[in-house]
Structure formats: structure tokens, C-alpha cells
Amino acid sequence: MDHSITTWAILLVAAFLGGGLNAIAGGGSFFTFPALVYAGVPAVAANASGTLALLPGYFASTWGYREDLRPPATLSMGALVAISLGGGAAGAALLLTTPDDVFRAIVPWLLLVATLLFAFGPWLLRRFKRDSTESEANAMVQGFTLAVVSVYGGYFNGGLGIVLLAAFSLLGHRDINSMQGLKNLVSSVLTAIAVSVYAFGGAILWREALVMMLAATVGGYVMARVGRRLPSSLVRAVVIVTGSVMTVLFFRS
């Protein structure tokens, strides 16, 4: 990795912006992952290190929605956490077994999917809410859906929040605050176990990740304070444009 002052400045700015965006809209990995790859970090290590850098934001969001945390009617909170742990660990293990050149080839498609999910997420949520039944899906369907999404989150964190919200809505959830609480809890649990697996597999660059974690935490705090003054449409546009540009660059690289 290039350890020049310019590179460190790019990593710090990317982490600050990533933490800030996650606090108000999501899409932080659109900044942290490309910045690490630009700095010369292999794709798998960049994904693992960037995920660790953004982890505190998930915990903070979960704490913020603690009063809205209610388990689905057909799944206990313990089952929800267990499935998230298992799926996140499986996704992280799958990442560690993916050769770096293969993951680098997959990344543009993952970024494309994440960008599309972010761009069309609100429409998807409205569509799922309109088309889904009033009753929640049974425990087997909920558990399987959560497991699949958790594997995705453990493998590649981009767009995870939108995927979870869409899944909960499709499965019959109606209370948006409860959905946000569950989304944040599942994201925290699966990301924490995924980071543990990454660490065990030696995929994390600790110095870079911890420095970026501090910047992301500051960014999250600052944006949580001032983000309400920004038009949500502007924030979403910035994330979508960034994701689109990064997707094109990775397809061309």
C-alpha cells in the first residue's frame, strides 16, 4: 500500500464521508472501499478493512433505535440474532476463500447491484409494501430470507440496509421504525461476526482500518448533527452519483 500523505488524506476523507453518509442515508462503502483499492490494498482486504472502519456506526444506529426493537411475530429475537451470526460468518468465510482476482472481477457487479438498490430502494419498498400480504410470513420463510441477506452482508456490505428493509417489508412488516431497528440490529450482528472472521483470516489491515474507523466515527457524529439540514434528495443524489462513478471505474479497470 502507498503510505504517502496524499493517500492517507484520501483514506481519512473517504472514511469521514462514509461514516457521515451511513449516519443519514447509507452508502458509506461507496467511499471506503474504492479509496482503499486506490491506495493499493487488495480487493478482499479492502472490503474487510472498510467494513471494520464503518462498524461503530452500526452499533450507534442500533442504540439509537433501541426503543423500537421488536422481534418479528414468527421469530424470536434470539433466532434473529443466531441467523444473522450464522449468515454473516458464512458470507465472510466465503469472501476469504475467494481469490483476490476473482473478487476484483465480481466487485463491479456488486457495486452495480448496490447502486441500483440504493437508487430504486424507496420505490421497491413502496412496491413490496403494496403487494405483500397483511400477515407476516411464516418462521421458515423469514429465517431463510434473513439467512440469504446475512450471507450477502458478510460477503459484501454495500447496499445491505436497503436489502434488509426491502426483505422485512416483503415479509409483511409494516412499522418503519421497527424495521429500522431490526435492520440496524441485524447489520450490527452480522458485520461484527464478519469482521471477526476477517480478522481470524488475516484479511484486515489494522492500522488503516482503525485510523479510518476514527474518521468514520467523527463523520457519523458530525453528519448526525447537521444532516437534518440537508435535503434528503441531495444526499441520495450524491450517493447514487458516487456509486455510479465507482461502478464505471471498476468495470473499466
The string of pLDDT tens digits covering residues 57-96 is 888 888 877 887 887 767 788 999 999 999 999 999 999 9
* Band of pLDDT at residue 97, cut at 50, 70 and 90: very high
* Band of pLDDT at residue 242, cut at 50, 70 and 90: confident
Q: Grid coordinates standing for 183?
A: 435492520
Q: Is residue 170 predicted with pLDDT exceeding 80? A: no
Q: In the chain, pLDDT over 90 holds for what percent of residues?
A: 43
Mean pLDDT over the full length of the chain = 85
Query: If you write DSSP's letter for every residue of the chain in order, what string do you get?
Result: ----HHHHHHHHHHHHHHHHHHHHT--THHHHHHHHHHTT--HHHHHHHHHHHHHHHHHHHHHHTGGG----TTS-HHHHHHHHHHHHHHHHHHHHTS-HHHHHHHHHHHHHHHHHHHHHHHHHHHHHHHHS-SSPPPHHHHHHHHHHHHHHHHH--TTHHHHHHHHHHHTT---HHHHHHHHHHHHHHHHHHHHHHHHHTT---HHHHHHHHHHHHHHHHHHHHHGGGS-HHHHHHHHHHHHHHHHHHHHH-
Q: Is residue 164 predicted with pLDDT exceeding 80? A: yes
Most confident of the ranges 97-101, 109-113, 184-188, 247-251:
97-101
Compute the average pLDDT of residues 214-231.
Answer: 82
Q: Is residue 10 predicted with pLDDT exceeding 80? A: yes
Least confident of 4-8, 51-55, 134-138: 134-138
pLDDT at 134: 44
Give Cβ neighbours of residue 240 (< 8 Å, ≥ 6 apart): 115, 118, 119
C-alpha–C-alpha distance, residues 173 and 168, integer Å: 6
pLDDT at 128: 60
- Looking from the CA of 92 toward its CB, the CA atoms found within 13 Å total 28
For residue 156, how far is the Cα from the chain centroid?
A: 8
Q: Is residue 123 predicted with pLDDT exceeding 80? A: no
pLDDT at 253: 72
* Band of pLDDT at residue 120, cut at 50, 70 and 90: confident
